[in-house]
Structure 1
Amino acid sequence: MKTVDSKILGKLTQDERFEDWWHSETLKIPLVDKELVVTFMDFEPDSDETFIQEADTALRSFLLLDSVYRAEISNLVLNHFVEYKELVCEVDVPTEMKEINEHEIWKFITPTEILITRRPYNEPDIFINLTCECAWEPEHGLQLVFKKGKALTRVSSQDGHLTTADAYDIPDSEDELLAKFKE
């Protein structure tokens, strides 16, 4: 079994089905106060020599995000839920979620995994995707995406896109959260 080494994660093991996926042991994630597996995706060690170093740098930043930052982004997560609620029938919204506030939203979210990959379009920055299950959207879940691990740049269903710009084929400058990102 092939492995690669990360200064933050230690050994990552190559996935048996997807050769460009590498899995860590669990890691404590302060933002959600949970231990999760981290997966490097779309990573081919022989052709991307800087991936691990850039992923480690992004992880260092991401691991600094804690419950204080979670409180700061709660309104964005609640807004995602409210937008979903406006699109579906009232009966599709869990009863206990009818009148919740931004601090209560986290009770209905279960983080499942951390995915780290490069953006395939525009700039090839590293993005950290915190995938979650959520009570209001069991089929598509929730993803919270962090550019370079530093700041939340997307809240959406798990749709395979790292940015809203990529999802809707719009310029990065029109992607509200991505455009606000500062180094």
Structure 2
Amino acid sequence: MAIEVPLLGVMKRNPELPTWLESEPLPVPLLGGLPCTIVLERYEKDDQPEDFHAAIANLLAATQQVLRDVEKEVYQYYLDCDCNIYLDEEDWIVIEKPEDVWQHVDLGNSIYIARNFNGDEVVYASIENNCEWEDEHGLQIVLREGRQVTKLGPFDGHLTNSDAVGEPDVIYSRVGWHDDESD
């Protein structure tokens, strides 16, 4: 059975995760036109699919300025990783200023859109990206309603910092990730 979703067209069901629907790759201006697969989680059974439609429309209308607006937070994540202590001196990653962080990020090619059932019940878009300074956890970028970055940092699967570390009003929080456990 074909499932048609506004702005995304016909979606296919993920054979391993049947509650996930996947689009064909389409260019996403937010990511510089990078072709991405949009994955909808639990869309078919949602009582308010129009919330997904609004998040998709916002996401597809968002420009790269949305990411530039959070460069300082991404840069702070880089600084907090202390990545140079783990690398040989000749491999050190040196990012001099916040606007240079994107040169060290490999933007993801899948965007996951899901309702946050653990808290505010808003629909979020989550993008898992690789970054040179944190190979293991990468860089997760989450956009509330597909329009504004409200969470970023190491990929933990949570859609909000309130869910992840109990800090609802911050975009980036060092609390709760890897090296804090030894403090």
* TM bin (shorter chain): 0.7 to 0.9
Q: 1:101 aligns with which of 97, 100, 106?
A: 97
- Asked whether 1:111 is paired with 2:111, we answer no
User: Residues of 2 paired with 1:19 and 1:131: CA distance?
Assistant: 21
**Which string of whole-angstrom CA distances, capped at 9 and with x for unpartnered residues, describes residues 2-30 of structure 1?**
43211111111110011111110112111
Query: Who is 1:134 aligned against?
Result: 131
Does the residue aligned with 2:23 lie in a helix, a strand or coil? strand
Q: Say if 2:39 is the partner of 1:39.
A: yes
The answer for the alignment partner of 1:71 in structure 2 is 68
Which runs of no fewer than 5 residues in structure 1 stay unpaired? 179-183
**Are 1:90 and 2:85 matched, yes or no?**
yes
Amino acid at match of 2:56: L
Distance 1:10 1:128, change over 3 A: same
The RMSD of aligned alpha carbons is 2.1
- What is the rounded CA distance, in whole Å, between the counterparts of 1:171 and 1:140 in structure 2? 20
Paired positions, count: 169
> Percent of pairs identical after alignment?
21
Structure 2 distance, partners of 1:90, 1:80, is: 15
Instruction: State the distance in 1 between where 2:151 and 2:75 align.
Output: 13
Equivalent of 1:121, from 109, 118, 134?
118
Aligned partners of 1:17 and 1:84: how far apart in 2? Answer: 34
> TM-score normalised to the size of structure 1?
0.83
Cα gap change, 1:89/1:106 in structure 2, threshold over 3 Å: closer, same or farther? closer
Give the structure-2-normalised TM-score.
0.83
The amino acid of 1:50's aligned partner reads Q
Q: Secondary structure at the match of 1:105?
A: helix
